[in-house]
Amino acid sequence: MALSRLASSSTVGSNLIKPITAAISLHHRPISSDATTTLTIETSLPFTAHNCSPPSTSVTTTPSELLSFFRTMALMRRMEIAADSLYKSKLIRGFCHLYDGQEAVAVGMEASTTKKDCIITAYRDHCTFLGRGGTLIEVYSELMGRIDGCSKGKGGSMHFYKKDSGFYGGHGIVGAQVPLGCGLAFGQKYLKDESVTFALYGDGAANQGQLFEALNIAALWDLPAILVCENNHYGMGTAEWRAAKSPAYYKRGDYVPGLKVDGMDVLAVKQAVKFAKEHALQNGPLILEMDTYRYHGHSMSDPGSTYRTRDEISGVRQERDPIERVRKLILSHDIATEKELK
Amino acid sequence: MATLFQGLAAVTPLSPSNSIESNKLLFSSRRSLSERKGNNFVVRSDAKVNKVLKSGAARKHELLIPNAVATQGSSSVASASKPGHELLLFEALREGLEEEMERDPTVCVMGEDVGHYGGSYKVTRNLAEKFGDLRVLDTPIAENAFTGMGIGAAMTGLRPIIEGMNMGFLLLAFNQISNNCGMLHYTSGGQFKIPVVIRGPGGVGRQLGAEHSQRLESYFQSIPGIQMVACSTPYNAKGLMKAAIRSDNPVILFEHVLLYNLKERIPDEEYVLSLEEAEMVRPGEHVTILTYSRMRYHVMQAAKTLVNKGYDPEVIDIRSLKPFDLHTIGNSIKKTHRVLIVEECMRTGGIGASLTAAITENFHDYLDAPIICLSSQDVPTPYAGTLEEWTVVQPAQIVTAVEQLCQ
C-alpha cells in the first residue's frame, strides 16, 4: 500500500499522489455510450420541503458527469484517508477534521454552481477546497505547514481559502462563518453579481445564536444567501437529539423556506443546489439540510466510536455510501466496466 | 447658553442671516467685525488652543469639561470671509464619511439606526437619503451578525464602515473582530484583505451608567492585525475617518460621547491624516504629557494652570493607539526626560500600561524620573455625577502629577 511508504516528508506528497493519479488515468478511455447523452435518474429519497415546493426528484445528468462525480469523490475519499495516515505519523499537527462520507455534498454543490458563487464553510474544509479547484499539492502542503500550501502554511487544516474560485474558508470558530457568509451575499447583491453564497455549517453550529441573527438580516434584505446545514448527526461527541430540541434544521428558518436533502446522494444534492440557487436569486435566503454522515470521528483526536456503535458506521457505509451509489449507477448504465472503476 | 448669544447679538450689529451667525459673534466678541479675517479664533489642534482658551470664545470648552453636557451647536457655517469652514465634530466625521462615499462606490455604512434615523449621534444624518438604503444600512440589533457581515462583505471587495451605537456593544461582536477581522488576512496567506472601519463612541460622561461608559481600547489592543486610532478634534476626526476608510487594514476608530459637539474651523480643501502619527498639541520643555481623546482637554486645562505656575509642558495627543507613534513620542522624551500619561482607559491593562512598557523598553536611558500614568479607576462607572467625575482623571490631578515629576 502506497501509504506505508512514508520514508521522508519531502517525498510523501509524490508518493501519495502517484497512486491516486495512476488510478485516475485509468479512467481515460473511450466509454461505450455517448458522453453527452442525457440520463434522467430518480433520486432515492424524496425532498422534504418547508414553506416552499420541492424540486422534482428526476435529475438529468450525463455519463461524463457521473464519471467525474465518481473520480472526484474517490479522490476526496483517498485524500482524507491519506491525511489520516499523515496525522498519525505526526506530519500533520494540531486539528484535522476529515470529510470522508460527506463527499457527495461538496461534489453535488460544485455541479450546480459557478466559481463566481461563493462557498464558505467551517473547519471540515479539505474536500470543499478541492471541489472548488484546489490541488492536492496545495492541500497537503498546507496541512504540513509548507509555503506551497493554499494559505502559505500559515493557516493549517482549518484555514483553507481560494479567493479566485470563490472559496472563503476554512473557519475555526463554530458558527462564525455564517454571518461572514451573509456578508459575502451582501457584497454580491451590492456589486450586482447575479451570484449566490452558500454558507455551510454543521448540526452542532445550528444552535448558535449568530445563525439566527444572520438569517434574520439575510431575509430582511433579500440577500442571495443559502444556508446549508451539513447534518452528520453528531456535534463532536453529542448526538443531535441531545443537543437540539428540534433537529429539523431545515425548518428552523421559520419564515425562511427550507429543504431537506439526502446528502449521500450526489444527484439529489445537485438538484437541490440548483433549486436553491434559482430561489435565492429571486426570493432571498433558503436553508438546505443535507442529511449526511462522517465515517471518521469529529477530528483525528476523536476515535468516533465512544458515542456511536461500529455497527452504525458500517451500516451507513454499506447502505448509503455516496461513492458506491455512483458506482452502481455507472455500472447499471454501462458507462464503464467494473475494472475501470477501481 | 442661549442668553449669552442673545446678549452678544444685541451689542454688535448682526449681519443679516440666521441665528447661526450668532455663534461666530461669540468668537468675535472681543474684536470688531472688520477683524474677522484673522484666524485668532481657530481651535487648531496645533499650538493655538491656549490662545483660544484665554479669550472668551472658548467658554464652550470650559463649560464642557466639568459638566457632562456639551453645548448644542447648530449646523455648519460657510463663511466667505474666512478660510475653511466651522463645524462640530460629528459633522466633521460625517463630512469625511460623505466625501469618501462619493469618491468610492464600494464604501458603505452599516449599523443600528444609521439610515432613516440618521445615526444616534447624527454622524450619518441624511446620508441614507443621499446614497440609498443599500449603502447606509439599518441593521437589526445583532452586533455579532452584522459585524461578521461587514467582514464578509469586505472579503468580496466592499469597504464597510461598521458602527457600534456605543463601543460597549461591540463586545458582543468580539469573536468576529478578533478572529475574523484581525486574523483573516494572515490565515488566508494574504488572499483576503479586510478594509473595514469599526467606529463608535465610548468613554465616560453624561451619567450613562456602567455598561454604557466603557472604554474598549484596552480589550482590542492585543488583537493582532488591527489598527486603532482615537480622534479628539473635528480636524483630526475628519482626517482620521478618511484615512481609516482608505486604509486596506481593519481600523477601529474610537470616538468619545462628550466630544461630538466640539466646534472647530477646518480647511475647505481635502486632507487625509496619517493613521500612525501622533499630534503635537503644545510644544514645551519640561515634561511630556501623552494623552488621547477627551483627556486631551483635561490636560490642556491643566496646562493653563501649569503655565501660570511656571511649568512648560509638552502635550502630545497620541491619536494612534495601535501602533504607537514612538518616533514623535521618543523625540519628545529625549527633549524633556519626563513623561506623564493621562488617559481615560482603565488602569489595569489599559493603553497607558502598554505605552508605559513601550517607553520603558525603548527610551529608558532618557528618563530622569519614573513614568507616571494617570488612568481611570478600576471600577464600574457610577451613575451619580460627582462619583462619575472622580473615576476619571481631573485637571487638578494632572497638575499635581506634573509638579511631582518635576521636583
Tens digits of residue pLDDT in A36-92: 778 888 888 889 999 999 998 899 998 889 999 999 999 999 999 999 999 999 999
Quick one: pLDDT at residue B78? 44
The fraction of chain B above a pLDDT of 90, given in percent, is 66
Of A32-46, A138-152, B342-356, the one with minimum mean pLDDT is A32-46
Nearest CA in chain A to B155: A184
Across the range B14-36, mean pLDDT stands at 39
- Which CATH number does the domain housing residue A197 bear? 3.40.50.970
Contact A176 B148 (CB under 8 A): yes
Quick check: is A92 in a domain? yes
Min CA distance, A220 vs chain B (Å)?
9
B192/A contact by beta carbon, under 8 A: yes
Q: Bigger pLDDT: B255 or B64?
A: B255
Across the range B100-123, mean pLDDT stands at 92
Of A132-136, B6-10, B173-177, B224-228, the one with minimum mean pLDDT is B6-10
Across the range A174-191, mean pLDDT stands at 94
Quick check: is A20 in a domain? no
Residues B167 and B204: their CA atoms lie apart, in Å, by 11
Reported ipTM:
0.80
Query: Which tens digits make up the pLDDT trace of A158-175?
Result: 999 999 999 998 899 999
Contact B153 A151 (CB under 8 A): no
Quick check: is A25 in a domain? no
Quick check: is A289 in a domain? yes
Contact A210 B158 (CB under 8 A): no
B146/A contact by beta carbon, under 8 A: yes
Quick one: pLDDT at residue B378? 92
Contact B182, B225 (CB under 8 A): yes
Question: Could you tell me the pLDDT band of residue A34, with boundaries at 50, 70 and 90?
Answer: low
Quick one: pLDDT at residue A169? 84
Q: What is the mean pLDDT of chain B?
A: 82
Q: In this structure, what DSSP letter does residue A50 have? A: E
Nearest CA in chain B to A218: B149
Contact B142 A168 (CB under 8 A): no
Question: Could you tell me the pLDDT band of residue A13, with boundaries at 50, 70 and 90?
Answer: very low
Amino acid at A286: L
Query: Which tens digits make up the pLDDT trace of B40-94?
Result: 333 334 433 333 333 333 333 333 333 333 333 333 444 445 688 999 999 999 9
Nearest CA in chain B to A180: B152
What amino acid positions of B are annotated as catalytic residues? 143, 212
Quick one: pLDDT at residue B26? 36
Indicate whether B398 pLDDT > 70: yes
Query: Which tens digits make up the pLDDT trace of A233-248?
Result: 998 888 899 899 999 9
Indicate whether B6 pLDDT > 60: no
Query: Which tens digits make up the pLDDT trace of B256-305?
Result: 999 999 999 999 999 999 999 999 999 999 999 999 999 999 999 999 99
Contact A292, A249 (CB under 8 A): no
Contact B145 A214 (CB under 8 A): yes
Nearest CB to A179 within list B106, B176, B188: B176
Quick check: is A243 in a domain? yes
Quick one: pLDDT at residue A20? 53
Contact B179 A120 (CB under 8 A): no
Indicate whether A12 pLDDT > 60: no
Contact B194, B181 (CB under 8 A): yes
Quick check: is A4 in a domain? no
Indicate whether A6 pLDDT > 90: no
pTM of the model as a whole? 0.80
- Which structural domain, as residue segments, surrounds residue A244? 44-337
Residues B112 and B73: their CA atoms lie apart, in Å, by 24
Which residue ranges form the domains of chain B, and what is each CATH number? 2-266 (3.40.50.970), 279-405 (3.40.50.920)
B201/A contact by beta carbon, under 8 A: no
Indicate whether B8 pLDDT > 50: no
Quick one: pLDDT at residue B317? 96
Indicate whether A339 pLDDT > 60: yes
Smallest CA-to-CA distance from B155 within B109, B228, B100, B106 is with: B106
Quick check: is A23 in a domain? no
What string of DSSP letters covers B288-356? EEEE-TTHHHHHHHHHHHHHHTT--EEEEE--EEES--HHHHHHHHHHH--EEEEEEEESTT-HHHHHH
Across the range B393-399, mean pLDDT stands at 95
Query: Which residue reads 466633521 in cell numbers?
Result: B92
Nearest CA in chain A to B108: A190
Contact A183 B156 (CB under 8 A): yes
Across the range B116-139, mean pLDDT stands at 91
A116/B contact by beta carbon, under 8 A: no
Query: Which residue reads 433520486 in cell numbers?
Result: A43
Question: Could you tell me the pLDDT band of residue B23, with boundaries at 50, 70 and 90?
Answer: very low
* Helix ranges (DSSP H) in A26-132: 63-88, 103-111, 126-131
**Chain B residues within an 8 Å CB radius of A170:** 187-188
B188/A contact by beta carbon, under 8 A: yes
What's the total number of domains in chain A? Answer: 1
C-alpha cell of residue B351: 493603553
B79/A contact by beta carbon, under 8 A: no
Smallest CA-to-CA distance from B331 within B386, B378, B377, B290 is with: B290
Quick check: is A22 in a domain? no
Q: Bigger pLDDT: A155 or A32?
A: A155
